[in-house]
């Protein structure tokens, strides 16, 4: 259950999970191309090469989770890349995704994420109800195309659907980047995960939660708190200051890891966009 640490901007920021499935070795998420050498090294420590992987189970297409998918598929023609039907077109042609990310990250894009290569159509699989022996189910909220995977041992590979928590710390960030935050959908997702009675939650950011009931309850509280702060008119600076105070009060010196995994200004932007869209619709 120990994640492979991709050492993105330091330790405990992005972790991916290696699974031994009935259909061969699989990983859940792959991280960005900028950390591909660290992924290779982590697999080698476990006795595998990337070309021996048979499945890549993507939770969603954000670059910290799926950026290296095309590069891995190019190197491994037998790799099946599983993704939500909504996310699939953006892996076949990532140009729009890259343009959007370059506007957001500017000159730091290449160092942070590296190459964003298309996934060949022959490698791509749209996620249904099961993948390589795991149950798959939609978990929108953080992103409309987010998917989670439930293993027979009770582990939910949750991506960002249950927030960012840098284990062994307890603080949870309900990271909410633009453009697809959906608060109603997110609460339904948390209910759906809870309904499945998981034994543990495997987080990309970062580690395995063995108190899923408590975690899900605190995730709901944190999400509602952040949403209310933005709805009531906090500016970006005020929101970031308040969220950072909460984080440092709980975690002290470990707080910096959180902001590498989930920049607070991005969550403000995502929630502000959500409420602005709701107001325009009303």
pLDDT digits (tens, 9 = 90+) for 219-260: 999 999 999 999 999 999 999 999 999 999 999 877 878 988
Greatest C-alpha distance within the chain: 56
What pLDDT sits at residue 45?
95
Give the torsion sign (CA, 18, 255, 201, 149): negative
**Contact yes or no for 212/198 (Cβ under 8 A):** yes
| pLDDT recorded at residue 281 | 86
pLDDT attached to residue 217: 97
- Encode pLDDT of 35-63 as tens digits: 999 999 999 999 999 999 999 999 999 99
- The one-character DSSP state at 119 is P
Name all domains of the chain by residue range, CATH numbers in brackets.
Answer: 4-220 (3.60.15.10)
Output the pTM of the full model: 0.94
Ranges of the chain with pLDDT below 70: none
SS3 20: strand
Helix residue spans in the chain (DSSP H) = 36-45, 63-66, 69-75, 88-92, 95-105, 109-113, 183-195, 212-231, 236-251, 255-261, 264-281
pLDDT of residue 105: 87
Quick one: pLDDT at residue 269?
94
């Amino acid at each position: 259950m120990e994640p492979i640490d991709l050492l993105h901007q330091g330790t405990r920021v992005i972790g991916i999970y290696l699974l031994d499935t009935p259909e061969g070795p699989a990983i859940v998420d792959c991280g960005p191309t900028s950390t591909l050498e660290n992924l290779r090294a982590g697999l080698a420590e476990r006795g595998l090469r990337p070309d021996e992987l048979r499945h890549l189970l993507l939770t969603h297409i954000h670059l910290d989770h799926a950026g290296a998918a095309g590069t891995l598929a190019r190197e491994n023609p037998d790799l099946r890349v599983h993704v939500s039907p909504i996310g699939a077109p953006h892996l076949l042609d990532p140009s729009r995704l890259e343009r959007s990310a370059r506007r957001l990250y500017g000159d730091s894009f290449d160092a942070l994420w590296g190459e964003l290569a298309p996934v060949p159509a022959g490698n791509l699989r749209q996620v249904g109800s099961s993948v390589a022996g795991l149950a798959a189910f939609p978990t929108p909220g953080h992103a409309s195309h987010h998917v989670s995977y439930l293993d027979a041992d009770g582990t939910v590979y949750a991506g960002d659907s249950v927030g960012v928590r840098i284990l062994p710390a307890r603080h949870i960030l309900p990271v909410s980047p633009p453009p697809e935050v959906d608060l109603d959908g997110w609460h339904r997702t948390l209910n759906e995960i809870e309904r499945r009675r998981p034994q543990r939650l495997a987080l990309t950011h970062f580690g395995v939660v063995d108190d899923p009931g408590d975690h899900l309850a605190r995730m709901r509280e944190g999400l509602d708190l952040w949403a209310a702060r933005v709805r009531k008119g906090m500016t970006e600076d005020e929101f970031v200051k308040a969220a950072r105070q909460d984080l440092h009060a709980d975690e002290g010196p470990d707080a910096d890891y959180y902001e590498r995994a989930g920049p607070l200004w991005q969550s403000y932007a995502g929630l502000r966009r959500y409420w602005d869209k709701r107001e325009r619709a009303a």
